[in-house]
């Protein structure tokens, strides 16, 4: 496959109304299919909004939300990236998942960095893994919202060969410059395509969300970027150019993991650092 067409769904999420949001999801997915997308991505916690009362909405994976999204994948024949509250002890987890055109569950990712500034860490447990999965043979990864501020998981995904990373988010207007800057930075430093999808509208906590969903190529250039209104942001990722750039300018191979370990030494013991590049 030489290109991957991705649709980012800038949804105005109805606060803590999963049935209503799932009902609206079908129209977005239908529109993405008409636009020729192979993958469509919803914002973070798209059936609820960024709630700090997750327990009543926690469910297993697979469970009702995954099954509803998988049904849409089967109906419209495309990959879908959703986000939900996963049941877990001692606290639920903020999880993203991918369903395939045949309805299969392809991947699950649990948000590694709960947003402590917004007290998410008091209500959600953090994840510990960065899985890489394939979409039509393309190695892909997932991150969620606040994870964007931490380069380490993206580097771990790059070390595993990920070429495209999807990032569902609820990123408020007051920090939108950081969102756009970090999307580009993660693309440039890892020579990968970055797909960040953000919601629009205002939530029950009074936070405004301006969209600004964006697809970035491996050079950090914007392929497509959304306005502050509900709808789709679609664009094509050029995988040939991405792979050629990695081969021609193999910057990731110049990493000096042993030096980083020494710099980050704790109690005289070097940290374990991936050295696969």
List, as one string, the DSSP characters of the chain: --EEEEEEEE--PPTT-HHHHHHHHHHHHHHHHHTT-SEEEPPTTTTT-S-S--GGG-B-SSSHHHHHHHHHHHHHTSEEEEEEEEP-SSS-EEEEEEE-TTS-EEEEEE-SS--GGGTGGGT-B-------EEETTEEEEE--GGGGG-HHHHHHHHHTT--EEEEEE---GGGHHHHHHHHHHHHHHHT-EEEEEE-EEE-TTS-EEE---EEE-TTS-EEEE--SSSEEEEEEEEHHHHHHHHHHS-GGGG--HHHHHHHT-BTTBPPP-----
In a domain, residue 268? The reply is no
Average the pLDDT over 22-40 and give the result. 98
Q: Work out the pLDDT band at 266, boundaries 50, 70, 90.
A: low
In a domain, residue 61? The reply is yes
Domain of residue 192, CATH code: 3.60.110.10
Percent of the chain residues topping a pLDDT of 90: 92
Q: Is the pLDDT of residue 151 over 90?
A: yes
What is residue 1's predicted lDDT score, i.e. its pLDDT? 84
Q: Is the pLDDT of residue 132 over 90?
A: yes
Q: Work out the pLDDT band at 187, boundaries 50, 70, 90.
A: very high
Known catalytic residues are 44, 111, 145
In a domain, residue 275? The reply is no
In a domain, residue 158? The reply is yes
Average the pLDDT over 125-131 and give the result. 97
In a domain, residue 239? The reply is yes
How many distinct structural domains can be found in the chain?
1
Q: Is the pLDDT of residue 276 over 50?
A: no
Average the pLDDT over 70-86 and give the result. 98
What is residue 275's predicted lDDT score, i.e. its pLDDT? 41
Q: Is the pLDDT of residue 271 over 50?
A: no
Q: Work out the pLDDT band at 24, boundaries 50, 70, 90.
A: very high
Which residue range forms the structural domain that includes residue 82? 3-263
What is residue 265's predicted lDDT score, i.e. its pLDDT? 76
pTM of the model: 0.94
Mean of pLDDT over the chain: 95
In a domain, residue 66? The reply is yes
Q: Work out the pLDDT band at 11, boundaries 50, 70, 90.
A: very high
Q: Is the pLDDT of residue 91 over 90?
A: yes
What is residue 277's predicted lDDT score, i.e. its pLDDT? 36
């Amino acid at each position: 496959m030489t290109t991957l067409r991705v649709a980012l769904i800038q949804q105005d999420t109805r606060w803590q109304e999963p049935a209503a949001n799932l009902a609206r999801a079908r129209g977005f997915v239908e529109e993405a299919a008409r636009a020729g997308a192979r993958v469509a991505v919803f914002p973070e916690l798209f059936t609820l909004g960024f709630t700090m009362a997750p327990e009543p909405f926690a469910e297993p994976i697979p469970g009702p939300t995954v099954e509803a999204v998988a049904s849409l994948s089967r109906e419209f024949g495309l990959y879908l990236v959703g986000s939900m509250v996963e049941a877990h002890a001692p606290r639920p987890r903020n999880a993203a998942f991918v369903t395939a055109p045949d309805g299969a569950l392809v991947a699950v990712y649990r948000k590694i960095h709960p947003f402590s500034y917004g007290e998410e860490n008091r209500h959600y447990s953090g994840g510990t893994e960065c899985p890489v999965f394939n979409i039509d043979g393309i190695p892909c990864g997932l991150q969620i919202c606040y994870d964007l501020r931490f380069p380490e998981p993206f580097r771990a995904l790059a070390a595993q060969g990920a070429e495209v990373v999807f990032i569902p988010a609820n990123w408020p207007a007051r920090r939108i410059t950081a969102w756009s800057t970090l999307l580009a930075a993660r693309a440039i430093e890892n020579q990968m395509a970055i797909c960040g999808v953000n919601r629009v509208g205002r939530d029950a906590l009074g936070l405004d969300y301006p969209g600004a969903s964006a697809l970035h190529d491996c050079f950090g250039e914007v392929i497509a970027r959304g306005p502050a209104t509900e709808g789709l942001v679609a664009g094509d990722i050029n995988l040939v150019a991405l792979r050629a750039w990695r081969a021609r300018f193999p910057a990731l191979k110049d990493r000096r993991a042993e030096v980083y370990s020494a710099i980050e030494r704790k109690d005289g013991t070097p940290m374990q650092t991936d050295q696969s590049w």
